[in-house]
Chains A and B, each alone.
Chain A
Amino acid sequence: GAVVSQHPSRVICKSGTSVKIECRSLDFQATTMFWYRQFPKQSLMLMATSNEGSKATYEQGVEKDKFLINHASLTLSTLTVTSAHPEDSSFYICSARVVAGGGTDTQYFGPGTRLTVL
């Protein structure tokens, strides 16, 4: 259980184009999903919190017009990198929050999407 998928796993695009990354919870519903960015050999940086049916909450320093997040259903959140530039090249990872019985709160991560902007 608690499987999270991401699509695509790898994408290469030209500078100036937009790229959409999907994050799906396959066997559970997630009212909250998170989007992270990871640079080579570095830790994960939280970009935003995606809440189903409402606007995403962005971390300080993350451009909301650059990184559009939509959480249209309880199993799907999308991240769109608009007008991508080479500095947006990175590994993007999503996670879905599960609150189990007894109140334990865990995030399950997707496999990540490697974006390369030429």
Chain B
Amino acid sequence: GNSVTQMEGPVTLSEEAFLTINCTYTATGYPSLFWYVQYPGEGLQLLLKATKADDKGSNKGFEATYRKETTSFHLEKGSVQVSDSAVYFCALSKAAGNKLTFGGGTRVLVKP
């Protein structure tokens, strides 16, 4: 079946540091890949997505590239802010029915 594995947190870093959250997946064919962010006490917000190999999703300074050869979709941001403190979820979906399979989530804490 489909699965998503992402690095466990929490990840603690200082403001303006570089952030990488690793995400790898297992799925047949070519799933769509997503990163969602969840701020404290809130639901999930779509951060970025990529629908085919070598696509790069980007939003709010975050980027992730769909790597078919390594089945990965790592999230990066060059300079984090305190406001980026949240839980980040990597997810995939297959075309049929669009059920999302989530990774376990990575909590990120950015300190001033």
Q: List the interface of chain A (C-beta within 8 A of B).
A: 4, 6, 32, 34, 41-44, 46, 49, 93, 95, 97, 104-112
Check B43–A105 contact: CB distance below 8 A. no
Chain A residues within an 8 Å CB radius of B97: 32, 49
The A contact surface, by secondary structure, is: strand
Number of interface residues of B (CB under 8 A): 23
Check A44–B103 contact: CB distance below 8 A. no
Chain B stretch 61-112: residues in CB contact (< 8 A) with chain A: 89, 93, 95, 97-100, 102-105, 107
Docked CA distance A4–B42 (Å):
12
Docked CA distance A93–B107 (Å):
19
Check B44–A109 contact: CB distance below 8 A. yes
Check B105–A109 contact: CB distance below 8 A. no
Q: Is B12 an interface residue (CB 8 A)?
A: no
